[in-house]
């Protein structure tokens, strides 16, 4: 997220356009998605702790290289390393949340772990903004480099973990009963949610003439509501996970349609966005728990697919939202994202094929 508020400064310093600078997020996102899909291949070779340490190391190196990059070409390479570090560390972190907790505590631990991204946005974005006023390079050193090093130092104090018994390659994971349908639902849901995040700031600015500062405050309030949504629904994840995925996806579809079509006041839109954020918090937890339940012995492979779905969701959501906005304004934008959320519910409406094939492919 460091790139987002610093695009103008990066572009000015390196003598490139903002449009070109914006492709840095494309580079890191694509690399994160590809790397995440590959993490399951390492499951039978190194343990989760070692994989986390490797991901954090790559993330720190890429961030440090970003801070000292003399030109755009080096910055592209640095962002590719950042994306690889994100793909590995995020996938391994979710797998660790399940592996390092007792079965009866898994949902609670997973819910706490999933608070990381929204809390990082709430806490990290103001820090990046303040430091970015002095130098965009300083922001890279102070936030991702320092936090990656700190996290790695804490992990290094934990005992080493053994490799998994199963090599969780992409083919193995996606051919496991229910995983392919689950992953398609995750991609559609993340596309709807990420797309809403991409365009909701513009909705507030264009609909109500809010300043950038006021819009940032509104988005921050929405992110805060994501947290209780995540925590509240965890009590039903273990017993009603499939029903939650259906109900929350349909609720998100109705809410995002209202957000786009009805804008009587800034407070109404803020309430609609906050409700969408609340729903997304619960659905993200339910989706993650469902994937881990489907294939517990393929944790790294499953969390890798989930991370890839999250990263690809930004691309799909931005593309679908852009086309809808150009065609029919914010009403069409809300309806397009509503269709994505409805699509996310469909895989969970279909009967689940039972079975427990041996995933121990070479």
- Tell me the CA distances in angstroms from 357 to 17, 172, 296, 353, one per residue in order: 52, 10, 13, 12
**Six token digits for residue 59:** 């993330």
pLDDT in tens, 58-104: 999 999 999 999 999 999 999 999 999 988 898 888 888 878 888 77
pLDDT of residue 255: 97
In terms of average pLDDT, the best of 163-177, 212-226, 302-316 is 302-316
- DSSP-derived letter for residue 175 is T
What's CA 318's distance to the chain center, in Å?
14
Q: What is the dihedral of CA 119, 322, 184, 163, to 10 degrees?
A: -40
150-154 long-range Cβ contacts below 8 angstroms, 24+ apart: 151/56, 152/53, 152/56, 152/57, 152/60
* Domains within the chain, CATH numbers bracketed: 3-156 (1.20.1250.20), 170-349 (1.20.1250.20)
What is the distance between the alpha carbons of residues 280 and 188, in angstroms, rounded to a whole number? 13
Give the three-state DSSP class for 2.
coil
What angle in degrees, to the nearest 10, is found between the helix axes of 234-261 and 266-294?
A: 140
**Six token digits for residue 175:** 């051919």
- How big is the chain, counted in residues? 362
For 351, phi then psi, to 5°, come to -65, 140
- CB-based burial label for 144 (10 Å; 0-12, 13-18, 19+): buried
Total-model pTM: 0.76
Q: Higher model confidence: residue 348 or residue 42? A: 348
144 contacts 59 by C-beta, under 8 angstroms: yes
pLDDT in tens, 173-225: 778 888 889 999 999 999 999 888 878 888 888 888 877 567 767 777 777 88
- DSSP-derived letter for residue 71 is S
């Amino acid at each position: 997220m460091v790139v987002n508020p610093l695009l103008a400064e990066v572009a000015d310093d390196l003598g490139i356009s903002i449009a070109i600078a914006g492709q840095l997020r494309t580079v890191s996102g694509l690399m994160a998605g590809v790397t995440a899909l590959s993490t399951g291949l390492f499951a039978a070779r190194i343990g989760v702790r070692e994989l986390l340490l490797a991901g954090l190391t790559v993330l720190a190196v890429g961030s440090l290289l970003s801070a000292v990059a003399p030109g755009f070409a080096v910055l592209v390479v640095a962002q590719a390393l950042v994306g690889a570090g994100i793909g590995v560390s995020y996938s391994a972190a979710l797998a660790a949340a399940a592996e390092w907790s007792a079965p009866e505590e898994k949902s609670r631990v997973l819910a706490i772990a999933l608070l990381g991204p929204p809390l990082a946005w709430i806490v990290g974005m103001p820090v990046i903004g303040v430091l970015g006023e002095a130098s965009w390079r300083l922001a890279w050193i102070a936030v991702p480099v320092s936090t990656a090093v700190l996290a790695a130092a804490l992990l290094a104090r934990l005992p080493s973990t053994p490799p998994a018994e199963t090599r969780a390659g992409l083919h193995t994971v996606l051919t496991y009963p229910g995983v392919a349908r689950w992953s398609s639902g995750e991609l559609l849901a993340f596309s709807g949610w990420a797309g809403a995040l991409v365009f909701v700031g513009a909705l507030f600015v264009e609909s109500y003439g809010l300043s950038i500062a006021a819009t940032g405050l509104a988005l921050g309030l929405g992110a805060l509501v994501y947290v209780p949504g995540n925590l509240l629904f965890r009590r039903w994840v273990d017993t009603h996970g499939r029903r939650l995925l259906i109900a929350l996806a349909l609720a998100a579809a109705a809410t995002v349609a209202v957000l786009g079509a009805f804008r009587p006041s800034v407070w109404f839109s803020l309430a609609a966005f906050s409700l969408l954020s609340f729903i997304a918090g619960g659905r993200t937890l339910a989706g993650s728990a469902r994937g881990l339940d489907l294939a517990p012995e393929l944790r790294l492979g499953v969390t890798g697919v989930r991370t890839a779905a999250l990263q690809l969701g930004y691309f799909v959501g931005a593309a679908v939202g852009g086309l809808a906005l150009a065609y029919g304004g914010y009403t069409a934008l809300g309806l397009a994202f509503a269709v994505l959320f409805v699509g996310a519910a469909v895989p969970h409406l279909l009967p689940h094929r039972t079975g427990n094939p041996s995933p121990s492919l070479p």
